[in-house]
Amino acid sequence: MKQLIRLIGVLSACSALGTAAFAGTEMYSGKESKVVAPAPPPECDYTWTGFYIGGNAGYSWGNADTRFEPLPDAVTFIDLAPQSLKPDLDGFIGGGQIGYNWQWNKWLVLGVETDFQGTDIEGHDRRQPFDDITGAIALGDPAVFLEAHERIQWFGTARGRIGFAPMCKLLIYATGGLAYGNVDYSAQTNFDNGTTYSTKFSDTNLGWTVGGGFEWALNHHWSVKAEYLYYDLGNQSRTEPQLFDGVPTGSGFFVRNNFETTGNIVRGGLNFKF
């Protein structure tokens, strides 16, 4: 009898283990067949709207064509033909900027920016000797030359900006507006007999600028940018009388010097947004 009871107990235990194992298999299979939806991508938590201040540094190159025109006319002033020198400008530029951006509809960004920087942009050209009205060399003496020089001491802009943000922290923009700068000019026409026509002056010029660039936000406050600008500071002109050993002769002969100042800027910058 005891053996019968023991056998019934063993069979009951085996049956319970089998049922538990079968139920575990069903539960495992049910979990495996369940599909979990991927989490939605996070919304952009950055905005370009706000005031910012920063610094920039870069390189500039350009044109400073200087045209020499004999007066009253080239035929009368036989030793000098109208001609130009090219004291092409180049040098480094660096300073700071301040501005404001307004972001609309997630991707359109409008803004204003002003900047100011010091420069060592300058250029020099010398022609020795120079041509007369026939195209021949006017005088072969090494003391006979034309010379022109320009230097931009400081430079600034006040511009509007329009851009779009194709990615959360990337801004691509176009920009344009007012350019201004202080320019030193000089030119000299020198003959071999002590006769010269010389000009030297400095002026603050107003012009225009246009360009574009892109900016990348490093975090909620700091961003870096790369930018290109073309600028035109206009033309200047001076007419100088004939000098002999530095003293005006009253001869009625003059040389008009026409100066041009245009250029390109490539620069990088770092901004802090408040």
Residue 110, CA distances (Å) to 50, 107, 173, 177, 267 in order: 11, 10, 9, 14, 21
- Segment 77-108, tens digit of pLDDT: 888 889 999 999 999 999 999 999 999 988 99
* Mean pLDDT on 130-156: 83
The 10 Å Cβ neighbour count of residue 142 is 9
Phi-psi region of 105 (alpha: psi -120 to 50; beta: other; left: phi over 0): left
Nearest to 99 by CA among 84, 119, 113: 113
Q: Where are the beta strands (DSSP E) in 168-221?
A: 170-190, 195-217
How far apart are alpha carbons 190 and 145 in whole angstroms? 5
Residue 226: count other Cβ atoms within 10 Å of its Cβ.
Answer: 15
- Report the 10 Å Cβ neighbour count for 263: 27
Burial class (CB in 10 A: 0-12, 13-18, 19+), 178: middle
* 3-state percent breakdown (helix, strand, coil) of the chain, nearest 5: 10, 60, 25
**132: β partners:** none
Provide the pLDDT for residue 192.
Answer: 79
> Per-residue pLDDT tens for 201-225?
999 999 999 999 999 999 999 999 9
Q: Examine the pLDDT at 46 and tell me if it is beyond 60.
A: yes
